[in-house]
Structure 1
Amino acid sequence: MAHKKSLGALDRSLQDLRRNDRLFENAVLLLAGDFRQTLPIIPWLKPADEINACLKYSTFWQHVRTFHLTRNIHVQQQNDHSAELFSNQLLKIGNGIVPANLTSGRISFPQNFCNLVATKEDLIKKVFADIQFKYKDPSWLSERVILAPKNKDVHEVNSTIQLNIPGELVTPSTLFLKKTKQSTIQQNF
Structure 2
Amino acid sequence: MRDILGSDTPNSENLVFGGKVVLFGGDFRQILPVIPKGTGSDIVNASLNSSYLWNHCRVLKLTVNMRLRVGSPDSDLNEIKMFAEWILKLGDGLLGEANDGEVEIPIPADLLIDDTDDPVKSLITFTYPNMDSNLHDPLYFQQRAILAPTHNLVNSINENLLELIPVDTLL
Give the letter aligned to residue 48 of structure 1.
S
- Whole-angstrom CA distance in 1 between matches of 2:152 and 2:36: 17
Using CA pairs under 8 Å that are at least 6 residues apart, name the structure with larger relative contact order, 1 or 2.
1
Q: TM-score, normalised by structure 1?
A: 0.60
Q: Find the counterpart in structure 2 of residue 18 from structure 1.
A: 5
> Does structure 2 conserve the Cα–Cα contact (< 8 Å) formed by 1:120 and 1:157?
no
- Aligned residues of 1:101 and 1:107 also touching (Cα < 8 A): no
Aligned residue pairs, count: 156
User: Are 2:32 and 2:47, in contact at CA under 8 Å, matched by a contact in 1?
Assistant: yes
Question: What percentage of aligned pairs have identical amino acids?
Answer: 27
2:106 is aligned with 1:109: yes
Stretches of structure 2 lacking an aligned partner (at least 5 in a row): 8-12
Write the mapping of 1:68-147 to structure 2, written as runs, cut at 5 A.
68-73=61-66, 75=68, 78=72, 79=74, 80-81=76-77, 82-100=79-97, 105-112=102-109, 114-116=111-113, 121-122=120-121, 123-147=123-147
After superposition, the Cα gap between the structure-2 partners of 1:30 and 1:141, relative to the gap in structure 1 and judged at 3 Å, is: same
Task: Give 1:72's aligned amino acid.
Answer: N
- Partner amino acid, structure 2, of 1:114: L
| Pairing 1:20-35 to 2, within 5 Å after superposition | 21=13, 22-35=15-28
Cα deviation 1:18-52 (Å, max 9, x = unaligned): 23534212110111232223323445432222222
Query: Residues of 2 paired with 1:17 and 1:48: CA distance?
Result: 32
- Aligned partners of 2:149 and 2:3: how far apart in 1? 38
